[in-house]
A and B are shown apart, each in its own frame.
Chain A
């Protein structure tokens, strides 16, 4: 093969390689990749609630049977079906402050069984009007034996059926029975406890737990 033919073949091969992109174009080789860094800030996406009670305690107890010496005294629940209060919806006293410190959420409320401090048989949390899984079995839908009921109230009204053992929409958290709370929304509440018709356990000190829970609501 003569040198001229060899040069021709080489130039053809080079041209073909360039056309196929196997050889990078000189302009592209000279170019420089560029990038910029961007920062982005998002709103917080935490669902949370805080409570801060003032001077909260069950007082102002009424009801019970004086003839049987089981009438309520100011700070002690009587039988049958005595009532005690944390705050008062009559005097517009709402000692428990509930604040939605997270994103918009439904605020649920639930309660536990009442247990004697020293241990023993408990009282089950019941509700009326189909509000919860356990109906109050006493007269006029009041708590029956070893049952108790908790009603919560705020400036928006009173939850008459009572709260239940499973978290349910806190119907007094907003107007028209709504429990939707936007961030920073503050609601003050009180509690009314209606005691059992009678108690199997003779303990005089009982503990219950009320829990507020923000849950994914209508918008999330």
Chain B
């Protein structure tokens, strides 16, 4: 009996130590309050980098934050099809109070109707509490707004893939080196000695 009592003392102490952590455990996620906007207008067929959206873990537990586009809050304009927005670097893993900026890209299809578009960028945390069979979780939303103007997006007059530029540059360098060597008068003569022949 006495032995059991001595055994229960350290277990009780551990439980007491764990109590505050359990009491204050929380899950939380935050997002920038200012809406995600596009500078200028978008055109059908265009691709645009939006300003990265700020997310933060406001809970005590480490969690992964993912991004989705939904129409939640009140606002005017056409609903942004979720497929138009792609987020890089997600899900992003954040510990307590850690934050990140998630790059977003807007791709407007060629068939997009002109007008004002509105939806919400929703940051959802993976952490949750279990209440019986229920998982209790959090998310946070901020506005997403931009305008699509008529007219197809035009690429610049000199728009070629990066690898083409690198290839052309390489060819130019080699050609310039060859011309330079030729004009300098330097000659490389390769001779085979008789010993090698034998």
Question: Quick one: given A58-B134, A86-B131, are A216 and B141 in contact (CB under 8 Å)?
Answer: yes
* B132–A58 touching, CB < 8 Å: yes
Select B131's contact among A56, A99, A101, beta carbons within 8 Å: A56
Select A208's contact among B31, B58, B135, beta carbons within 8 Å: B135
Within residues 201 to 220 of chain A, which ones have a CB less than 8 A from any CB in chain B? Answer: 205-217, 220
Count the A residues whose beta carbon is within 8 Å of the partner chain — how many? Answer: 44
* A103–B131 touching, CB < 8 Å: no
* A86–B30 touching, CB < 8 Å: no
Question: Quick one: given A48-B58, A48-B140, A106-B73, are A210 and B135 in contact (CB under 8 Å)?
Answer: yes
Q: Mark A173-209, 1 if CB is under 8 A from B, else 0.
A: 0000000000000000001010000000000011111
Interface presence of B143 (CB below 8 A): yes
* A102–B140 touching, CB < 8 Å: yes
* B136–A96 touching, CB < 8 Å: yes
Interface presence of B26 (CB below 8 A): yes
Q: How large is the interface on B (under 10, 10 to 19, 20 to 34, 35 or more residues)?
A: 35 or more
Interface presence of A59 (CB below 8 A): yes
Alpha-carbon distance between A214 and B56 when the two chains are bound, in angstroms: 14
* A50–B135 touching, CB < 8 Å: no
* Beta-carbon nearest neighbor of A77 in chain B: B133
* B133–A191 touching, CB < 8 Å: no
Interface presence of B128 (CB below 8 A): yes
User: What's the nearest-Cβ distance from chain A to residue B146, in Å?
Assistant: 16
Alpha-carbon distance between A49 and B131 when the two chains are bound, in angstroms: 18
* Beta-carbon nearest neighbor of B71 in chain A: A166
Alpha-carbon distance between A216 and B1 when the two chains are bound, in angstroms: 61
Alpha-carbon distance between A52 and B29 when the two chains are bound, in angstroms: 13
Chain B residues with CB under 8 Å of A191's CB are: 131, 134
Q: Which of B9-17, B32-40, B76-84 forms contacts with chain A? A: B32-40
Which 9 residue pairs are nearest across A and B when measured between Cβ atoms?
A: A48-B30, A50-B28, A58-B132, A56-B131, A52-B26, A57-B132, A213-B139, A45-B33, A215-B141
New A-B contacts (8) at CB < 8 Å, excluding given A50-B58, A99-B28, A206-B133: A46-B56, A50-B138, A51-B137, A56-B131, A56-B136, A209-B137, A215-B141, A216-B73
User: 21 A-B pairs, CB-CB below 8 angstroms?
Assistant: A47-B31, A47-B32, A47-B141, A48-B29, A48-B58, A49-B29, A51-B26, A56-B132, A58-B132, A86-B131, A86-B132, A86-B134, A102-B58, A166-B70, A206-B133, A207-B135, A209-B137, A211-B124, A213-B138, A213-B139, A216-B75
